[in-house]
Chains A and B, each alone.
Chain A
């Protein structure tokens, strides 16, 4: 009896699932067939329409009142051994990953483990609201894990308003065991999106340069990891210096700079095959690469005879087109999300400043006018802001509007450099270096409030982080 009661909503949850199916090597067609709902990833499916006026997280302040949220371990319908571990252990870990994601956003305070109660399987859809109210939690995340016959896992994710005793959102995700963490990130994204109104970003990856060894001869390796530091993988072995990796929009490749054969140039690395190819043949030094939002172009800089200008080339290769033609150093190009404009830095006025131009190189306009120098501009995926490195003694990460107004510095350390945006344009990853002979770099994050700042755990030191798009 209770079992059949539970079955109905769970089926609904599955039907509403976004499922991350495309990326899951498992039998995707089947899942898609079972999910007639349109791209549900952005919109938590069966949530009541009253979600708006209920719980809302203040993303502007972000400091004063992180929302207390309870995320108990997810029960399983049956304890089954899977490649990801037994389903009950997976359920415990999923809740921890969700709590970690939400805590790291700076907008939520997960209820401490000691105050979490054990949730039975039937209780997933019938929360003990009185208990959770007593913990101070305003929101409650419950869910379940189920091993499917085909080797996949189904993870259900439910968000409740504790005071209103109502359900706010539900999602179901079918993942292969090797992708089990993604179900937690998708669930966290569902909750984050519902409660903040911001776009999702937890189910995403970061590519960066892993560093080790003495400062005069750092060993640098291309690496990739989930945004929380999990699933870390080295992609190159450190024989050549590698710099400035950036994801392709389809996330199947990374464009970066390498000193292979002592010939500094940009390469595209195919993540699936591990192969790489030189982008511009027979060229002088090429660097500072970045894909266009549609993936058709690679923007890059080329230094020839002491002069550096910005070019674009088809991501398939071919002849580059020159976009800037100043006698100074023009570099660091980044497209606006609609691909119509490019923000870049140039020292044509005497020191590094930020400029915006049309995608064809026309109408170059300086937008930065504050004291000091400005470098490494990157356009927010939301389009509303430019992040940059401000140089004036220290290096600091800052933001300004695309017209140059509203400058705000987000970090204050010795040397913070090279911002890169989260998929939702609310968080920035960057590298933070320390000084001196033992100085090293690490990967950090800061949000737009400038308050929520933290280091991303990496096996070694790290530099040049670049955030990839949201995974599909």
Chain B
């Protein structure tokens, strides 16, 4: 009896895969909103029906702070003076909206190995988190996630692209 059940599940899977569109039952998670590209994951929550930007939204955050992104040196995770200024502006905005939660994404360039870069991205996101915490943002409001080298924003294999990809991005959750 168990055996028959199993076979049915497998058969259903095969059909779902062949269709390439349907979600498989019980196997896969609900569709995520976004894969965290640092590019507007909250679109829709940012504006009112009349098109105005909602105060406290990610769109509001991005237009209010110096930048939502800080950058790092090769294989580095220290916060340089430029990044400090950016994070200061983020901390000020977050102080105005004390109930807003954020995710900080850590990213790397493609010159590291995959697993090491997951750890390095975690270091970078935590460096930003620790700095914001020191500026008064409660750690409970901050999630970190490392994407390693999985989500570059600059596609070239050159130093200019690498410099853009070594980053930590602050995203306001809706």
| CB-defined contacts of B32 to chain A, threshold 8 Å | 239-240, 259-262
| Interface pair A260/B29, CB less than 8 Å apart | yes
Interface positions of A from 82 to 119, Cβ below 8 Å from B: none
| Interface pair B35/A216, CB less than 8 Å apart | no
Residue in contact with A303 in the complex, picked from B20, B26, B113, B118, CB distance below 8 Å: B118
| CB-defined contacts of B24 to chain A, threshold 8 Å | 237, 274
Q: Which of A233, A241, A276, A352 has the most CB of B within 10 A?
A: A241
The complex places the Cα of A331 from the Cα of B115 at a distance, in Å, of 7
| Interface pair B145/A308, CB less than 8 Å apart | no
| CB-defined contacts of B30 to chain A, threshold 8 Å | 261
Count residues of A near B (Cβ-Cβ below 8 Å).
57
| Interface pair A345/B145, CB less than 8 Å apart | no
| Interface pair A329/B151, CB less than 8 Å apart | no
- Which residue of B is nearest A308, CB measured? B119
Asked if A435 is an interface residue, CB under 8 A from chain B, the answer is yes
Asked if A26 is an interface residue, CB under 8 A from chain B, the answer is no
Asked if A13 is an interface residue, CB under 8 A from chain B, the answer is no
| Interface pair A274/B77, CB less than 8 Å apart | no
Interface positions of A from 268 to 307, Cβ below 8 Å from B: 272-276, 285, 287-288, 301, 303, 305-307
| Interface pair B9/A274, CB less than 8 Å apart | yes
Asked if A439 is an interface residue, CB under 8 A from chain B, the answer is yes
- Which residue of A is nearest B103, CB measured? A262
- Which residue of B is nearest A391, CB measured? B113
Asked if A418 is an interface residue, CB under 8 A from chain B, the answer is yes
Asked if B51 is an interface residue, CB under 8 A from chain A, the answer is no
| Interface pair B155/A215, CB less than 8 Å apart | yes
| CB-defined contacts of A437 to chain B, threshold 8 Å | 155-156
| Interface pair A216/B155, CB less than 8 Å apart | yes
Asked if A395 is an interface residue, CB under 8 A from chain B, the answer is yes
| CB-defined contacts of A131 to chain B, threshold 8 Å | none
Asked if A244 is an interface residue, CB under 8 A from chain B, the answer is yes
Digitize A217-244: 1 where CB-to-B-CB distance is under 8 Å, 0 elsewhere: 1101000000000000110110111011
Interface positions of B from 84 to 121, Cβ below 8 Å from A: 103, 110-116, 118-120
Asked if A264 is an interface residue, CB under 8 A from chain B, the answer is yes
| Interface pair B157/A239, CB less than 8 Å apart | no
| CB-defined contacts of B155 to chain A, threshold 8 Å | 214-216, 436-437, 439
Asked if B53 is an interface residue, CB under 8 A from chain A, the answer is no
Digitize B41-83: 1 where CB-to-A-CB distance is under 8 Å, 0 elsewhere: 0000000000000000000000000000000000101000000
| Interface pair B146/A303, CB less than 8 Å apart | yes
Asked if A376 is an interface residue, CB under 8 A from chain B, the answer is yes
Asked if B127 is an interface residue, CB under 8 A from chain A, the answer is yes
The complex places the Cα of A276 from the Cα of B29 at a distance, in Å, of 10
Q: Which of A237, A261, A352, A464 has the most CB of B within 10 A?
A: A237
The complex places the Cα of A243 from the Cα of B150 at a distance, in Å, of 10
Interface positions of A from 416 to 432, Cβ below 8 Å from B: 417-418
Given the interface contacts A306-B122, A436-B156, does A345 sit within 8 Å of B146 by beta carbon? Answer: no
Residue in contact with B122 in the complex, picked from A259, A308, A351, CB distance below 8 Å: A308
| CB-defined contacts of B112 to chain A, threshold 8 Å | 391
Q: How far is the CB of B80 from chain A (nearest CB, A)?
A: 17
Q: How far is the CB of A370 from chain B (nearest CB, A)?
A: 16
Q: How far is the CB of A280 from chain B (nearest CB, A)?
A: 15
Asked if A389 is an interface residue, CB under 8 A from chain B, the answer is yes
| Interface pair A285/B118, CB less than 8 Å apart | yes
| Interface pair B122/A274, CB less than 8 Å apart | no
| CB-defined contacts of B26 to chain A, threshold 8 Å | 275
Residue in contact with A285 in the complex, picked from B37, B146, B150, CB distance below 8 Å: B146
Q: How far is the CB of A218 from chain B (nearest CB, A)?
A: 7
| CB-defined contacts of B16 to chain A, threshold 8 Å | 237
- Which residue of B is nearest A269, CB measured? B27
| Interface pair A216/B114, CB less than 8 Å apart | no
Q: Which of B16, B23, B24, B113 has the most CB of A within 10 A?
A: B113
CB<8 Å pairs between A and B, sample of 12 = A215-B152, A218-B150, A259-B35, A264-B146, A273-B9, A303-B123, A308-B122, A332-B115, A347-B116, A375-B115, A375-B116, A439-B155
Q: Which residues of A contact B (CB under 8 A)?
A: 214-218, 220, 233-234, 236-237, 239-241, 243-244, 259-264, 272-276, 285, 287-288, 301, 303, 305-308, 329, 331-332, 345, 347, 351-352, 375-376, 389, 391, 395, 415, 417-418, 433, 435-437, 439, 463-464
Q: Could you list 16 further interchain pairs (A-B, Cβ under 8 angstroms) beyond the known A215-B152, A329-B120?
A: A237-B24, A237-B28, A239-B29, A261-B32, A287-B115, A301-B115, A305-B126, A306-B123, A308-B119, A375-B113, A375-B116, A391-B111, A395-B113, A417-B114, A436-B155, A464-B114
